[in-house]
Amino acid sequence: MFSGALKGWHILLVVAVLVLLFGSKKLPDAARSLGRSMRILKAETKALTEEGKEGQAATADKADAQVTSQQPIADGKPSAAPIVDPVQRQS
| pLDDT tens column, 48-83 | 999 888 877 766 666 665 555 555 555 666 666 667
**Residue 71 to residue 77: CA distance in whole angstroms:** 15
Output the pTM of the full model.
0.42
**Residue 22 to residue 28: CA distance in whole angstroms:** 10
Residues 64 and 71: beta-carbon distance below 8 Å: no
How far CA 5 is from CA of 2, 12, 16, in Å, comes to 5, 14, 19
Tell me what pLDDT residue 22 has.
81
DSSP designation for 71: S
